[in-house]
Amino acid sequence: MKIALIGQPNCGKSTIFNSAAGYRVATANFPGTTVQLAWSPVRLNGSVVQLVDVPGIYSLTSTNAAESAAKKFLLNESVDLIINVLDASLLSRSLELTLELRELGIPMVVCLNMMDEAARKGAAVSSERLAALLGLPVMETVASRGVGIRELFAQVLRQLDSPPAPSEFLAWHRDIESEVADMQLLLETDARRQKLPSRFLAVKLLENDEDVAQDVGPKIARAALQLREQLEQTHGRSAEWVIMSERHDRAMRLSEESTTLSRPRPNFRAALDNLLTHPLWGYVFLILILVLFFWAVFGLGSLIERAVDGRIALLSAAVLTHFGQNTLARALAQSLLDGFQGGAGIVLPYLLPFLFGLAILEDVGYLPRVAYLMDGLLHRIGLHGTSMLPIVLGYGCSVPACMATRILPSRRDRFIASVLATLVPCSARSTVIFALVAFYLGPMWALGIFCFNALVVIISGWVLARMWPEISPGMVLEVPRYQWPTFNVLTRKVWLRLREFVVLSWPLLIAGSLVLGLATYWNLDHYVNAAFSPLTRLLGLPIVLGTTLIFGVLRKELALIMLTEALGTNAVAHVLTPVQIVVFTVFITFYIPCLATLVALVKEIGKKMTALAAAYTFALATAMGLAARFILPLLLSR
Amino acid sequence: MVMATKLQQAQWRLMFNSLFAFWTGPRQGKLRGGAHKRPAPPTALSLYQAASGQQVEVLQIIAGQTATRQLAQLGIRAGSRLAIQRCAPLGGPILVESAGSTVAIGRGLARKVSVKILP
């Protein structure tokens, strides 16, 4: 049994999915947060059903990769029931998709989400009236606060096996209806049986839908072309637009019939938006917000690190006294403890506030405003504002950032945006920057590295855009309302992302520490270091850091932990010069994306492009490391 | 030695020109990365020219299929009414309100949307 959550982008599908299935997919306040299907078994009244979270679609005509994946799923997999989620405050537009879905003939429950937002806008939507007009059950919810979810799923159970009731109200103009009927008749008499209802197919053929047109025989295709031409002649516009307007018109009338409007409540959000998208103050606030973000993350992080690290060091010293000098047992215990300490004492203190801050920025809905503000600048380098979303998400983790490029319509934009997103320091690399550079050299240095990175990203974007000149479709991006993030959702989202570190990279880190500990015990690390010595020598780094570079490809945080491990001390500043710290950090920040990102990249842009991207980042990292090595001393000596 | 064909020479020239376009300034008719260089449709007023605070009605959209569909899905098509909220500096996008939602439209695309200003 498959139940699919379908609706327009940013209407709260994933929030409903999470409240039924536990927090499993990340939610955020911008269109296109979900770019792939998510499945979860859910227990409904004793029986187990598969609940599917589908990427948002504006209509069944797809304009990007995420949307066409959603459409393919809907048309090819036999879905047993559709929960059509609507943003009640954007009723008319949302209903256009409902009308399209209705023709699939699949049992359907309409979920009017964000009822509180509609009320704030002064729109009182009557779900009874809408249900009567649509011939479908309509449920009201406020998913962000969990209101009405139980009732929604109770209705879902009742509605299984009952397809949409016919509705007089939704009939189109007579001449269009008769063309659809002609097409339907042809399809029904055709030898090839179709899985989908004939009315749906007939309408889609008249709309000249590429996906549907592929599946029909030449006879049907010819007939469809004829009928389309007929429509075009009588209406003076292409058939696609005739049908689209018809749907638009019905949706408009539906929303007018079921809504009573009153004065909207005054809200401060319009005033806030005026300030944050202001031609001057918008940029001032953008910089202020980013500086505040880094300051808060570093402040909190170093506070936690100081509190935790010392205690763990004491603890491990206490444990180590039980082992004799220079024994294998001691080496093992030491590396185990180091791995544990690296995670708890160095990575977690910075990762936690970082993820929390990013979650707040995402949920408030500030990111699309950043895209809006940056579009003009990005145009100078040959990209457009929508590319900014994946790039900003790259500050969290490169993997979802690469996947988020699916909301971009052109292949070329996707390639450039995903390469740039991997160049941006992700939370793991930010941890390296905070824990090494900010901790030992001061927060201004860290900020400097972030700014330098941004500059390199911009220049890379500029170069890449020129290597592949192409006219890309302009930016069209819905800018959502601001939303007050709820603490509950924030903590669960942070945990979702933190869990990845705790269950995946921390064990890896401890294992890596163990491997390095053993290798040192048996003096094997010399070979690895020797193999990497051309690179480390070139960058002016101690030879012992060669091993850390391998671990850096596995996970970027590992490089940091392995650094302390390889140097044999936590007091990095005693062993490395400030320039060496900066060179190491810069190199780690830019060089080959981590393993998980490489896998994601192969999936998004293909093997060849990934190899190209890896080579590019490696060359870039070496160049930047060299630049830091030779230019920094000049700056420092002045 | 193999001589470069005329086509290759033209390609190199194009690449060279586009690499330094930021310095020499945009050239008409040259293909530039990401830029939307098709000439604006000859209409009285494009969305690009409208000022913030104005109410406009869309007359016609002459753009690529993807862009036209994207706009239509967000309620921006011939006949729909928009309120212009903001125009970003530096050739940035235009923020319009359409059917209750706010949409950012890149300037290049805004040029291809012809509108008339409503009183």
Higher pLDDT pick, A513 / B43? A513
Reported confidence tier of residue B23, pLDDT bands at 50, 70, 90? very low
CATH superfamily of A2-166: P-loop containing nucleotide triphosphate hydrolases (3.40.50.300)
**pLDDT at residue A246 is higher than 60:** yes
Put simply, the answer to whether B106 touches A468 (Cβ < 8 Å) is: no
Task: Give the per-residue pLDDT at A472.
Answer: 64
CA A450 to chain centre: 21
Q: Mean pLDDT over residues A341-363, rounded?
A: 85
Which of helix, strand or coil describes residue B52?
coil
**Which residues in chain A are closer than 8 Å to B86, comparing Cβ atoms?**
277-279
Buried b (16+ CB within 10 A) or exposed e, A483-513: bebeeebbebbbebbbeebeeebbebbbebb
Task: Give the per-residue pLDDT at A340.
Answer: 83
**pLDDT at residue A251 is higher than 60:** yes
Cross-chain CB nearest to B36 (options A280, A462, A471): A471
Put simply, the answer to whether A479 touches B102 (Cβ < 8 Å) is: yes
Domains of chain B: 47-118 (2.30.30.90)
**pLDDT at residue A441 is higher than 70:** yes
**pLDDT at residue A33 is higher than 60:** yes
Architecture of domain A169-261: Orthogonal Bundle (1.10)
| Window from A73-87, A182-196, A390-404, A608-622 with minimum mean pLDDT | A182-196
Size of interface A-B (CB pairs under 8 A): 155
Put simply, the answer to whether A379 touches B34 (Cβ < 8 Å) is: yes
**pLDDT at residue B25 is higher than 60:** no
Distance CA(A177)–CA(B60), nearest Å, equals: 26
* Domain boundaries, given as residue ranges, for chain A: 2-166, 169-261, 281-319+328-471+505-637
**pLDDT at residue B29 is higher than 80:** no
Reported confidence tier of residue A553, pLDDT bands at 50, 70, 90? confident
Reported confidence tier of residue A54, pLDDT bands at 50, 70, 90? very high
* pLDDT, chain A, mean: 86
Cross-chain CB nearest to B104 (options A59, A279, A375): A375
Q: Which helix (H) or strand (E) holds A365?
A: none
- Per-residue pLDDT of B36-63, as tens digits, reads 444 444 446 888 888 888 899 999 898 8
Distance CA(A506)–CA(A295), nearest Å, equals: 26
Q: What size, in residues, is chain B?
A: 119
Start-end of H helices in chain B: 6-19, 21-24, 65-73, 107-110
Q: Which of B61, B82, B102, B103 to mutate to test the interface with A (most CBs of A within 10 A)?
A: B102
ipTM: 0.82
Half-sphere exposure at residue B38, Cβ-oriented, CA atoms within 13 angstroms = 16
**Which residues in chain B are closer than 8 Å to A375, comparing Cβ atoms?**
88, 92-93, 104, 106
Task: Give the per-residue pLDDT at A325.
Answer: 74
Q: Mean pLDDT over residues A435-451, rounded?
A: 86
Put simply, the answer to whether A375 touches B14 (Cβ < 8 Å) is: no
Q: Which helix (H) or strand (E) holds A259?
A: strand A259-261
Put simply, the answer to whether A379 touches B91 (Cβ < 8 Å) is: yes
Torsion over CA: B8, B10, B14, B16 (sign): positive
Task: Give the per-residue pLDDT at A557.
Answer: 78
Angstroms from B96 CA to nearest CA on chain A: 10
Task: Give the per-residue pLDDT at A107.
Answer: 93
- Per-residue pLDDT of B63-103, as tens digits, reads 888 888 889 989 898 888 999 988 887 778 899 998 888 99
Reported confidence tier of residue A237, pLDDT bands at 50, 70, 90? confident
Reported confidence tier of residue A256, pLDDT bands at 50, 70, 90? very high
- Per-residue pLDDT of A190-206, as tens digits, reads 766 677 888 888 998 89
**Which residues in chain B are closer than 8 Å to A473, comparing Cβ atoms?**
63-64, 66-67, 70, 109
**pLDDT at residue A17 is higher than 50:** yes
Cross-chain CB nearest to A61 (options B34, B69, B77): B69
Q: Mean pLDDT over residues A339-365, rounded?
A: 85
Q: Which residue of A has its CA nearest to B20?
A: A466
Distance CA(B114)–CA(B47), nearest Å, equals: 6
Task: Give the per-residue pLDDT at B24.
Answer: 42
Higher pLDDT pick, B20 / A86? A86
Distance CA(A293)–CA(A350), nearest Å, equals: 12
Reported confidence tier of residue B35, pLDDT bands at 50, 70, 90? very low
Put simply, the answer to whether B74 touches A478 (Cβ < 8 Å) is: yes
Put simply, the answer to whether B100 touches A92 (Cβ < 8 Å) is: yes
